[in-house]
Amino acid sequence: MIRLALPGARRVGLLMGSETQPHYQALQSAALERQLRLNVLQVEQESDIFPALQKLLPESDLILALPEPAIFNAGTIQMILLSTYRQQLPLVGFSAAYTRAGAVFSLFSSPQQIGRQAADMLRAALASGRLPAPQYPNEYQVSINPHVARSLGLALESEQQLLQRLRSLE
C-alpha cells in the first residue's frame, strides 16, 4: 500500500515495541521485496517514544504505525501525529480512527470483515474437526485523510482506486 500511495517513499520509520518485535523479520522481508528500507527504533517504555521519534523522523520518508499498544495509544498518538506533521512526514495508520485523527491513510479490516473471516474459519474447523492456522485478514479497506494529504503536498488517489490497485496485485 505504501508503494502504491506514496511511490516516492523509500525510508519507512518504525517504532517497535514488544508486541511487534516478533514480526520484525516478516516486516523486513516485505520491505525489501518492495525496495523499501525500514528504519527501526526499539521503544521499551512510553518515556522513550518522543526521543526515539525525534531521532527517527529525519531518517524517514514516512512513519508506519503498527498496533503496538505501548507506543500507539490514546495518550501518545496526539504527540506522534503532531511531531510527524511538523516534520511534514505522513503517518500511515492501521485504523479508520487513526485516519480521522491525522494519519494520511490507513489500511485495515473492519469488524464486519474480521467477523466474516472468523465465521469462515469456524465453518472450516467444524467441517474438518481441526482449527485452521492463524492467518492475516483476507478482506481490508483503505481510508484517506484528504486534508492531511493536501497539507503535506501529497496527491493521493481515491480510497477506491487505491484499494482496487492493491487487490490487483494479489
**What is the pLDDT, as a whole number, of residue 170?**
79
Is 25 among the domain residues? yes
**What is the pLDDT, as a whole number, of residue 64?**
97
Domain that holds residue 68: 2-109+139-168
Give the separation between CA 42 and CA 80, rounded to whole angstroms: 15
**What is the pLDDT, as a whole number, of residue 160?**
96
Residue 40 φ/ψ region, left for φ over 0, alpha for ψ in the -120 to 50 degree band, beta for the rest: beta
To 5 degrees, how large is the angle CA 118–CA 136–CA 132? 55
Is 130 among the domain residues? no
pLDDT single digits (tens) 75-114: 999 999 999 999 999 999 999 999 999 999 999 999 999 9
> Which segments of the chain have a pLDDT < 70?
none
Is 123 among the domain residues? no
Kindly report the length of the chain.
Answer: 170
Tell me the longest C-alpha to C-alpha distance in the chain: 54
CB 61 within 8 A of CB 8: yes
CATH code of the domain containing 148: 3.40.50.2300
